[in-house]
């Protein structure tokens, strides 16, 4: 059991697919699990227009990071102003997470390592080497890497390295 105190927990608002999304995300990332859930009781279901017994909130961990989600209705939806970054060690991890998270997502939303999953949540799937390439002391190399990046949907690390060389 970890003694680490997580002060900030992302809280995600879904229409009615919080439990389904949490289970999907837990299946994508290692070291992940569902922690707890609350269900709509009779009065809350009536007030919220939800089926009695359906999930109201769900808490889960993705690779040790805690999240909470709510089935709050269609009032609020995700937009790309908020995204989750998946830092990857190499192309194999980029491919793995990109392929899983983008499956059945919005293909129009994919650019420069960004994607929108099937629930509308935006993710950035990036190799850790990207920051090194874009902040290189040789500005010419950094600009070449950035130009190559702007042409990509899923990041291709080898193409970025070649462009920067």
- In this predicted model, what pLDDT tens digit does every residue of 95-122 receive, in sequence order? 999 999 999 999 887 889 999 999 999 9
Instruction: Check residue 2 and give its pLDDT.
Output: 60
At residue 13, does pLDDT exceed 70? yes
Inform me whether the pLDDT recorded for 3 exceeds 80: no
pLDDT number for residue 108: 85
Q: What is the mean pLDDT of residues 125-150?
A: 94
* Separation of alpha carbons 60 and 102, rounded Å: 20
Q: Over 60: is that where the pLDDT of 53 sits?
A: yes
Distance CA 68, CA 37 (A): 9
Beta carbons within 10 angstroms of residue 148's beta carbon: 18
The structural domains of the chain, ordered by start, are 11-71 (3.30.720.100), 83-164 (3.10.180.10)
What tokens were used for 20? 């389904």
Q: Please choose, from the candidates 94, 154, 157, 114, the residue with its C-alpha nearest in 3D space to the C-alpha of residue 145.
A: 157
Per the DSSP assignment, residues forming a β-bridge with 62 are: 65
- The residues near 17 (Cβ < 8 Å, ≥ 6 apart) are 71, 119
| Whole-number percent of the chain with pLDDT over 90 | 84
pLDDT digits (tens, 9 = 90+) for 61-70: 999 999 999 9
Checking if the pLDDT of 1 tops 80, the result is: no
Cα gap 56→75, rounded to integer Å: 15
């Amino acid at each position: 059991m970890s003694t680490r105190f997580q002060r900030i927990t992302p809280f995600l608002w879904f229409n009615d697919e919080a439990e389904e999304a949490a289970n999907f995300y837990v299946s994508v990332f290692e070291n992940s699990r569902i922690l707890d859930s609350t269900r709509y009781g009779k009065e809350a279901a009536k007030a919220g227009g939800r089926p009695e017994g359906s999930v109201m909130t769900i808490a889960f961990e993705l690779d040790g990071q805690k999240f909470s989600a709510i089935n709050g209705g269609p009032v609020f939806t995700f937009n790309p102003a908020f995204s989750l970054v998946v830092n990857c060690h190499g192309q194999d991890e980029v491919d793995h997470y990109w392929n899983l998270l983008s499956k059945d997502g919005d293909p129009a939303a994919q650019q420069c390592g960004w994607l929108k999953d099937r629930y509308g949540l935006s993710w950035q799937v990036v190799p850790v080497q990207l920051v090194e390439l874009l902040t290189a002391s040789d500005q010419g190399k950094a600009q070449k890497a950035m130009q190559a990046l702007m042409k990509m949907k899923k990041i291709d690390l080898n193409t970025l390295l070649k462009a920067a060389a």
